[in-house]
Amino acid sequence: MHRLLWCVAALLVVSGCTGRKSSLLLERHARGPMSDMTMVGHRIDWKLEPLKQTQEQQGIEVTVEFASREYLKELYGNKKLFGPYAGKEPFFPENLVFYIQVHNKATERIWMNPVEFVVVDDRGNQYATIDADYLDVLAESRQPWMTTTRGMLEDARPGYFGLSVPVGKLVAQKSQGRFALIKQSSLQLGYLYPGVTHDGVLAFWSPVGEAKSLTLFVSNIKTDFDAANVPQTTLEFPFTFHVLSQ
Q: How many angstroms separate the CA atoms of 168 and 134, rounded?
A: 25
Do 33 and 125 touch, CB atoms closer than 8 A? yes
What string of pLDDT tens digits covers the 246 residues of the chain? 555 445 545 444 444 444 556 665 666 677 877 777 777 768 889 999 999 999 999 999 999 999 999 999 999 999 999 998 898 888 888 899 999 999 999 999 999 999 999 999 999 999 999 877 777 777 777 665 444 444 444 455 454 445 444 444 444 334 567 788 888 999 999 999 999 999 999 999 889 989 999 999 999 999 999 999 999 999 999 999 999 965
Q: Could you tell me the domains of the chain?
A: 31-137+174-245 (2.60.40.1640)
pLDDT of residue 16: 45
Question: pTM for this one?
Answer: 0.77
DSSP string, 137-184: HHHHHT-HHHHHHHHHHTT--TTGGG-SS-HHHHH-----HHHHHHHH
User: What local confidence, expressed as pLDDT, does residue 21 receive?
Assistant: 61
**pLDDT at res. 173:** 39
Q: Which residues pair with 129 in a beta bridge?
A: 204
Calpha distance 192→92 (Å, rounded): 30
